[in-house]
Amino acid sequence: MDLKELENGINPEIHWYYQSKIQPLIAYAKKLLSSSDQLTIVDVGSGSGFFAISLERVFGDKIRKVYLVDINYTREEIEETRGKKIEKTLVIPDKIENGLVILMDVLEHLEDDLLMLKNIKANSVGNNHYFITVPAFNSLWSGHDVYLGHYRRYKVDTLNKVLNEAKYSISNTYYLYGSLFPMVWTARKLDNMKKDKEATSNMKPFSPLVNKILLGITSIDMKLASLNKLCGVTCVSQGTI
């Protein structure tokens, strides 16, 4: 989770966006654990660690270790977690084995997304899997992207292209939030027409009722998302490193 969203008062434990977005990740981890006793989670660009910590909470002892990797962690945070099951670190572990590497909205922040993927692969030993999300479609580019420091947005083919260049084996690439795409596209086109518009995040807290409605809609979306190759707000890829 991007720490800038926390600054805007977003609580991922209740916000509809994060509560729906984690559903396909949990489903993927569950599938991997059906043929594996334990997984090591490596959350690259982890920020608050919401996604990886949630996996540990859901699967418990089936998660052997969680590495939260983020360049913004302080020395105190790193020392407090050193050697613990959930450990914060500045760098990717030297050896990733029997792991699930997750990059939740990370690649778009990197000028060289291919280099990051290659670095992860170089430290991967044996059987490892990945789950990646990135913002979708340049037509949705707005002040939200500028505020969060994005370099690009992706489509299925552009995400597949960089993954193929990094020699990752892709099992599926698809879109999330297809049901919201028309609304988001319209809102951002109108927003981009405003003059002298300050770059800011579109993510904000909602009332409990609106939050519940949006979570209900997007949870249905998540059940069908793996088949969605047409459009969405987020692009997802999963497979083997």
pLDDT of the residue at 240: 98
Rounded to whole angstroms, the Cα distance separating 152 from 145 reads 8
N-term to C-term CA, the chain: 22
**Longest pairwise C-alpha distance within the chain:** 55
Residues 6+ apart with CB under 8 A from 75: none
Confidence of residue 119 (pLDDT cuts 50, 70, 90): very high
pLDDT over 90, % of the chain: 84
Mean pLDDT of 203-219: 92
Give the residue extent of every domain in the chain: 3-240
Superfamily of domain covering 3-240: Vaccinia Virus protein VP39 (3.40.50.150)
Confidence of residue 8 (pLDDT cuts 50, 70, 90): low
- φ/ψ (deg, to 5) at 155: -125, 175
Rounded to whole angstroms, the Cα distance separating 197 from 171 reads 40
Single pTM value for the model: 0.93
Q: Compute the Cα dihedral for 138, 4, 57, 216 and give only its sign.
A: negative
Token pair belonging to 150 = 């994005």
